[in-house]
């Protein structure tokens, strides 16, 4: 809709031009009837809610949206936008449902009103009164639809500079920040998505993302409304309980656009069996956006391989990059572009350098080559938006192909954080040394540009620096994810504490009874050393769904680190807490223990502890082998066999057997000589 000035005008034109077409359809279960609303009914209800809303609240004031997923949520959101009221998309606060964030946001935003459904109203009112000191006036949507408005004056005009809603970030290390999204930001970002992705009015969206999250709000509600097409939705819990429902909904409704963060595609691959895909047809799915967290090459290849029989195509994947501060979307490819990947040297990356080994057009590098890491291209901006890779200390633009911080500006960029002027100035008011007259957002993400694509390498605040080398936590977490079947895929955090590497990971529910934690910890440590050439100092195993997560499904690394440092992680097994177990026995085991203690600089070592668990590396391994051979030089022990031993106990057993074998050989040789 090139001729509209705001999203409210889109609703109006849709109600006139396609009144009987379904705007939104909500699925609870594919075996049950769906809930639908046409564009005409949507506009009628939104107008009524907006008029009656202004009987209670003044334009510019904040109002919380405390709805479960559904069409009522959508009507309330658009009514706020139409009335000039600043909506704050959230969820109903309940016991065990991350209610603290809702209370914190209520205080930070100074909101005095909250909208919810008739069913939720008594539950929320009671819970709020028992758990929050902030006074709140609750209104249910049905009252506003049925009520008679006494308002004579017309609804306020929609100004592009005025705030439309606040997107509160997860606030993993402090109070959440409310990103101000203006009416102009909404229109700019939806137009931007239309231009780059090629989405159009004939598309059908099928999504399950939370509506209080920027990605879900834009791709499930705002972009379909701008394009005037149909959007099919379901609750996040519906997808998580049974991921195949998303793909079956894609099939049933002829979905052409849908997407999610990277973890959702892994969940589909891991949870959906071949037998459940018999009636799944994904051949119409032309834009499968992958956003909101780093896009992993392994995830894409696994998904394509697993679902190739359904008609899903590799080039349907649409990797993109964005964040709440940019409304949602920052970069992406053109809709018909092929997926682009590159392989870069892993060791060079640790030195903050980019050495490209191959790209998706070059098959000369085998997938099994070690010391490489694969990155997926996230496209770039168009002429209306600007992205730079910058050295944040000097504010100079980095040379092409070098790693720096991602800076962004353009009409999609938020003006700042609600009621936080100084914080906003620091984040959004950055200028380049060669001043181009623009203010940039410092995203906090690190990356580089190659060809026509942005490649995101990680978060600057999450960077792990060990012995002068840089390691990205998501790379280590990816290694953990695939190293053992007992690992709960996608639920791991890696971070540095006092120049030591710590990893925290969850265990699958189905593995709890058969779990051998000591062996699993050894395998994690061995895999990380093998893939990244670094030793793990501590490993913490958790039960399922115990690691801190954001509302959008991302790991809260910094909060996990804080809990670890405070000793408050509900650990199922922790490596460093098991150090008192099993002292050496016997002459050989005591000799090996003495050598390990000296080389690793640890006075007491459990004989079953893994070498890499203890901070071992290739240099220390060579030192230990040399010391063992010096101790037993008359027996010519096999160095490679020694290197294969993972613990003191195992190494002692190998040496003992070798000594016994050597003794028998000596006796036989002596008998022959006689």
Would you tell me how many other CB atoms lie within 10 Å of the CB of residue 619?
A: 9
Q: Report which of 152, 175, 144, 14 is spatially closest to residue 79, judged by C-alpha positions.
A: 144
Measured CA to CA, the distance from residue 64 to residue 77 in angstroms comes to: 10
Residue with tokens 């906003």: 424
* pTM tops 0.75, yes or no: yes
Q: Report which of 588, 585, 586, 584 is spatially closest to residue 635, judged by C-alpha positions.
A: 588
Measured CA to CA, the distance from residue 319 to residue 292 in angstroms comes to: 10
Tokens encoding 648: 């003191």
Give the CATH superfamily of 587-673: ACP-like (1.10.1200.10)
Q: Report which of 197, 196, 215 is spatially closest to residue 207, judged by C-alpha positions.
A: 215
Q: Report which of 291, 290, 446, 462 is spatially closest to residue 354, judged by C-alpha positions.
A: 446
Q: Point out the residues of the chain with pLDDT beneath 70.
A: 1-2, 96-98, 149-154, 170-175, 360-370, 468, 551-552, 576-581, 613, 618-619, 664-674
pLDDT digits (tens, 9 = 90+) for 166-206: 999 864 434 679 999 999 999 999 999 999 999 999 999 99
Tokens encoding 428: 């959004």
Burial of residue 10 (number of CB atoms within 10 Å: 0-12, 13-18, 19+): buried
CATH no., domain 7-332: 3.40.50.12780
CATH no., domain 470-578: 3.30.300.30
Domain with CATH 1.10.1200.10 in the chain: 587-673
pLDDT digits (tens, 9 = 90+) for 331-375: 999 877 889 999 999 888 888 889 999 775 444 444 555 688 899
pLDDT digits (tens, 9 = 90+) for 248-278: 999 999 999 999 999 899 999 999 999 999 9
Three-state secondary structure call for residue 21: coil
Give the per-residue pLDDT at 665.
59
C-alpha to C-alpha distances, 32 to 29, 72, 119, 398, 399, nearest whole angstrom: 5, 19, 20, 55, 56
Contacts of 103 (CB under 8 A, 6+ apart): 93, 131, 132, 134
Measured CA to CA, the distance from residue 373 to residue 346 in angstroms comes to: 6
Domain with CATH 3.30.300.30 in the chain: 470-578
């Amino acid at each position: 809709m090139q001729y509209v000035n705001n999203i409210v005008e889109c609703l109006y034109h849709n109600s006139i031009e396609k009144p009987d077409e379904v705007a939104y359809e909500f699925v609870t279960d594919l075996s049950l009837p769906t809930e639908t609303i046409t564009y005409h009914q949507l506009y009628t209800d939104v107008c009524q809610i907006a008029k009656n809303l202004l009987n209670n609240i003044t334009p510019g004031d904040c109002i919380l949206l405390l709805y479960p997923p559904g069409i009522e949520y959508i009507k309330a959101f658009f009514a706020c936008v139409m009335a000039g009221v600043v909506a704050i998309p959230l969820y109903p606060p309940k016991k065990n449902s991350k209610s603290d964030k809702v209370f914190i946001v209520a205080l930070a935003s100074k909101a005095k009103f909250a909208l919810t459904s008739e069913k939720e109203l008594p539950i929320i009112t009671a819970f709020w009164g028992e758990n929050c000191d902030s006074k709140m006036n609750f209104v249910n949507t049905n009252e506003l639809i049925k009520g008679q408005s006494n308002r004579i004056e017309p609804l306020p005009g929609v100004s592009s500079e005025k705030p439309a809603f606040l997107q509160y970030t997860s606030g993993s290390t402090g109070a959440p920040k409310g990103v101000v999204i203006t009416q102009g930001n909404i229109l700019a970002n939806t137009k931007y998505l239309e231009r780059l992705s090629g989405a159009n009015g004939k598309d059908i969206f099928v999504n399950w993302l939370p509506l209080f999250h920027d990605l879900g709000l834009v791709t499930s509600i705002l972009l379909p409304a701008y394009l005037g097409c149909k959007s099919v939705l379901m609750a996040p819990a519906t997808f998580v309980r049974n991921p195949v429902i998303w793909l079956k909904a894609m099939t049933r409704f002829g979905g052409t656009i849908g997407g999610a963060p990277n973890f959702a595609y892994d969940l589909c691959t891991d949870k959906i069996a071949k037998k459940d895909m018999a009636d799944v047809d994904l051949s119409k799915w032309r834009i499968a956006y992958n956003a909101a967290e780093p896009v992993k090459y392994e995830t894409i290849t696994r998904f394509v391989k697993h679902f190739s029989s359904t008609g899903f195509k590799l080039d349907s994947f649409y990797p993109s990059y964005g964040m709440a501060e940019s409304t949602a979307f920052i970069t992406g490819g053109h809709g018909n572009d092929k997926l682009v990947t590159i392989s870069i040297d892993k060791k060079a990356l640790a030195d903050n350098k980019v050495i490209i080994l191959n790209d998706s057009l070059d098959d000369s590098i085998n997938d099994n080559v070690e010391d490489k890491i694969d990155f997926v291209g996230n496209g770039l901006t168009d002429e209306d938006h600007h992205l730079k890779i910058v050295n944040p200390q000097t504010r100079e633009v980095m040379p092409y192909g070098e790693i720096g911080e991602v800076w962004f500006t353009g009409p999609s960029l938020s003006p700042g954080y609600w009621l936080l002027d100084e914080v906003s100035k620091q984040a959004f008011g950055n200028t380049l040394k060669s001043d181009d007259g623009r203010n940039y957002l410092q995203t906090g993400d690190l990356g580089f540009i190659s060809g026509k694509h942005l490649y995101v390498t990680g978060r600057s605040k999450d960077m792990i620096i060990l012995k002068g080398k840089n390691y990205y936590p998501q790379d280590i977490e990816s290694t953990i994810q695939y190293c053992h079947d007992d690992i709960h895929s996608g639920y791991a955090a890696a971070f540095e504490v006092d120049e030591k590497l710590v990893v925290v990971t969850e265990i699958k529910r189905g593995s709890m009874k058969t779990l051998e934690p000591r062996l699993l910890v050894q395998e994690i440590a061995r895999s990380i050393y093998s893939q990244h050439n670094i030793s793990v100092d501590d490993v913490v195993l958790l039960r399922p769904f115990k690691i801190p997560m954001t509302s959008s499904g991302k790991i809260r690394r910094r909060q996990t680190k804080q809990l670890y440092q405070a000793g408050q992680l509900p650990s199922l097994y922790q490596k460093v807490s098991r150090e008192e177990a099993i002292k050496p026995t016997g002459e050989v085991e005591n000799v090996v223990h003495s050598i390990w203690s000296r080389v690793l600089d640890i006075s007491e070592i459990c004989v079953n502890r893994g070498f890499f668990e203890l901070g071992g590396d290739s240099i220390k391994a060579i030192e230990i082998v040399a010391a063992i051979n010096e101790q037993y030089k008359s027996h010519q022990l096999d160095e490679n066999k020694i290197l294969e031993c993972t613990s003191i106990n195992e190494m002692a057993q190998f040496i003992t057997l070798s000594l016994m074998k050597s003794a028998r050989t000596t006796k036989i040789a002596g008998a022959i000589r006689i």
